Structure 1
């Protein structure tokens, strides 16, 4: 904790990131969900090493250009923070730390929970689009698959349910749940586990094959509340991977408990700190990129 201040490498590093993130998120509160998602997508592929920020090259397609990442937003926030830090203390603060801090600061800005962000990560130099689908939990995953993917990252079922709560903010494209509305078993039917009235409502928002429209993941787009879990308990989990949290007795109990802010918020904070430690590079590993889109 407080690596840059304690080592006197860049004592104002965290304050600089927070100031810039708040400026952006206050202008556009939907960026909080975007930055949170970017941090999640980074950590689950190659660890929390900012590999998600690297551009593709002539010889390699980077993570950010993989299909699940094409809708990511907020790169300009990270770049602005990086530019400010390079002016204040050049070649000192990693893009990986900036992204980790930005996720926390953005959620804080919309009155969500805060959490500890240990710093001192270094940046990775490898980013392959082919690694993304192998590591990110798909939106159509069942509980067994989700549990396995999270376990591979050192995260347990409690973390799985808590981190899924990040879906209390943000959008999803209609394409991600199209089959649940129009062709769940290949016979033109809806997913029977989805509340029929909610399914009918979603069909008014999303026509079959719609690749453009987005809908909120719950009824409060930028409110960091527990409505996501309440929706799941009412069989209104938007994505199949959300509904999957009801598949076991243990996970269903955790979802029910998470409808209480006093339980959800501190557990989300603990799980975010834990996630931010996945396969980090430290000391002489990796590098400190001068620009987040390029390897030095």
Structure 2
């Protein structure tokens, strides 16, 4: 058995173990299953993978963006597809929250996935499950681990911009606040925090999220002392003082489009882009530091922890059975307008 096959086998086994772990205490968790669509929509994974694979040809960033959509969805009222809802008379869209506005992306790609699934399996696959599957495929196609998704989520009927502002981690958070945000939604503030932060091994961030580190950090008249000096000079050129905060740069300066453990090795040499990345290692007395060091030395340990944390996150407050609905259009709750082909995929 090859090393990649071994990793896939082990992580698949871990997935099933974790599924068993959740089978019992919560009826909603118990109804999630890796075989949920085997009879009703057996092509679901292939359809989503094909859309992502095609998109990657022209937008390598989309893999990280789709993974981030799943994360930002699950942190607000659980994994119910609420992030995908547009503003309406009854919906205050999470897309306009502080952590999402002009930041999260990929909604048009999710629209295409949903449109194709509705043609093959109408009214069957939830938008929440689309995000879950797309996240896993995006990680795998980028060189990360593969795992078996637990499926059967249904879509929520509302969204909460206020809760998104309250729950979503900010690049300006202290380590203690980060821990509190993770604990509040049902994750832990050590391994889950570090493992899921490892998703910053691909994707990009805006200057707005880290420019405060480059010139006058914490009002001290000097840059963040934890920043690598050569990395600092590079970032100061990309994000000059008073410059455009919307300019983007790679979160992982080493292998920006690959899902690997370079994010953690970067932290060891002061090349964490966001303050909330670097503090996992550099905050005085941080109990997360040992986890960072472990993941920097052992890719398999990171992959294993990441998979388990993703499964744990994907189980947060899910709707199953008769709860919620299966949206026909991920941007709006079901109603007369969603029954029209013209409205199946709305504009961005």
Q: Normalising by the residue count of structure 2, what TM-score does the alignment of the two structures yield?
A: 0.81
- How far residue 272 of structure 1 moved from its aligned partner, in angstroms, is 1.0
Decide which moves more: 125-134 or 280-289. Answer: 125-134
> 2-side partners of 1:49 and 1:173: how far apart?
27
Partner of 2:168: 136
> 1-side partners of 2:311 and 2:227: how far apart?
32
- How far residue 200 of structure 1 moved from its aligned partner, in angstroms, is 2.0
Match of 2:215 among 175, 182, 195: 182
> 1-side partners of 2:318 and 2:215: how far apart?
41
Partner of 2:289: 252
> 1-side partners of 2:304 and 2:220: how far apart?
43
Checking the alignment, whether the CA contact within 8 Å between 1:195 and 1:234 is kept in structure 2 is yes
Measured against aligned partners, the alpha-carbon deviations of 1:92-117 in whole angstroms (never above 9, x if no partner) come to: 11000001100111121122212231
Structure 1: where are the runs of 5+ without partners? none
Match of 1:267 among 302, 305, 319: 305
Partner of 2:14: none
Pick closer, same or farther for the CA change 1:249–1:187 going to 2, 3 Å: closer
> 2-side partners of 1:154 and 1:136: how far apart?
13
- How far residue 249 of structure 1 moved from its aligned partner, in angstroms, is 4.7
Checking the alignment, whether the CA contact within 8 Å between 1:29 and 1:110 is kept in structure 2 is no
Partner of 2:112: 80
Q: Normalising by the residue count of structure 1, what TM-score does the alignment of the two structures yield?
A: 0.95
Match of 2:318 among 280, 291, 295: 280
Partner of 1:54: 85
Partner of 1:167: 200
> 2-side partners of 1:171 and 1:196: how far apart?
21
Partner of 2:22: none
1:195 and 2:228 aligned:
yes
Checking the alignment, whether the CA contact within 8 Å between 1:115 and 1:270 is kept in structure 2 is no
> 1-side partners of 2:309 and 2:326: how far apart?
26
Match of 1:227 among 219, 241, 262: 262
Q: How many residue pairs get matched? A: 294
Checking the alignment, whether the CA contact within 8 Å between 1:45 and 1:135 is kept in structure 2 is yes
Partner of 2:186: 154
- How far residue 28 of structure 1 moved from its aligned partner, in angstroms, is 2.0
Partner of 1:206: 239
Checking the alignment, whether the CA contact within 8 Å between 2:264 and 2:292 is kept in structure 1 is yes
> 2-side partners of 1:102 and 1:280: how far apart?
17
Structure 2: where are the runs of 5+ without partners? 1-33, 335-348
Structure 1 counterpart SS, 2:76:
coil
